[in-house]
């Protein structure tokens, strides 16, 4: 395949027809990672696309990657979510391109919002660190109940509940446009990843 021919763009209404394929990719990836994240509906993904809150990666007419943004706390927080790459197109740097384009979209649509991510993925931590995100406690993220209800589909939801939503196996990361850029080191994502491993080993019991 020719990587140079893959385009990563802000989604337009004509891309809504890819919604079913996107839902399947997100669900299959969640199963592989063992996160148990609930399946998104075609209507939900289609709404993100037509609402100007998504990014697609295309190899000609083939959908090969996707991500979207969600707004929480009356616009004070924005989450970048659903980052997915077709298995045949992984390890080509495509996830980084999609992540950067989604970050650009979030900054463009909500320039004063704090942008956050919760993840157990080392590659995502690396990408976030490179863009200026810093690791934070969950208390620094949105307190919007609707966002946290979205964690119910995860196999680790009981851990989140048991710790009164203060921590889980995921690492919280935050970009605050009003604060000076944080100079993360190359070791930052690895430190967070090791922390996640210890959390998993001890299941964050009180």
User: What Å distances lie between residue 107 and 15, 53, 77, 87, CA to CA?
Assistant: 22, 11, 11, 28
Listing from the earlier edge strand, what are the strands of the sheet with 171-175? 6-10, 54-59, 62-72, 77-85, 114-119, 171-175, 134-136
User: 49 versus 188: which is more confidently predicted?
Assistant: 49
Burial level of 45, CB count in 10 A (0-12/13-18/19+)? buried
- Dump pLDDT digits (tens) for 124-174: 888 899 899 999 999 999 999 888 887 887 778 888 889 888 888 888 999
Is the confidence at residue 17, as pLDDT, over 90? yes
pLDDT at 16 over 60: yes
Compute the average pLDDT of residues 8-13.
Answer: 97
The confidence score (pLDDT) of residue 112 equals: 93
pLDDT, one tens digit per residue, over 167-195 is 888 889 999 998 865 555 666 555 545 55
Task: Inform me whether the pLDDT recorded for 205 exceeds 50.
Answer: no
Query: pTM of the predicted model, to two decimals?
Result: 0.79
**Mean pLDDT, rounded, of the chain:** 84
Band of residue 206 on the pLDDT scale cut at 50, 70, 90: very low
Tens digit of pLDDT for each residue in 82-107? Answer: 889 999 999 999 999 999 999 999 99
């Amino acid at each position: 395949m020719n990587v140079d021919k893959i385009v990563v763009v802000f989604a337009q209404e004509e891309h809504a027809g890819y919604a079913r394929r996107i839902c399947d990719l997100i669900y299959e990836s969640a199963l592989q990672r063992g996160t148990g994240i609930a399946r998104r509906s075609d209507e939900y993904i289609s709404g993100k696309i037509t609402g100007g809150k998504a990014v697609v990666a295309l190899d000609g007419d083939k959908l090969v990657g996707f991500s979207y943004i969600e707004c929480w706390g009356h616009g004070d927080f924005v989450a970048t979510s659903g980052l997915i790459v077709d298995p045949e197109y992984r390890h080509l740097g495509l996830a980084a391109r999609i992540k950067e384009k989604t970050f650009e979209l979030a900054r463009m649509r909500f320039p004063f919002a704090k942008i956050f991510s919760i993840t157990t993925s080392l590659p995502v931590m690396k990408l976030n660190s490179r863009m200026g995100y810093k690791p934070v406690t969950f208390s620094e993220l949105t307190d919007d109940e609707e966002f946290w209800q979205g964690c119910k589909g995860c196999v680790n939801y009981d851990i989140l509940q048991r710790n009164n939503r203060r921590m889980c196996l995921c690492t919280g990361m935050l970009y605050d446009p009003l604060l000076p850029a944080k100079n993360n080191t190359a070791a930052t994502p690895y430190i967070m990843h090791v922390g996640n491993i210890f959390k998993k080993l001890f299941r964050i019991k009180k």
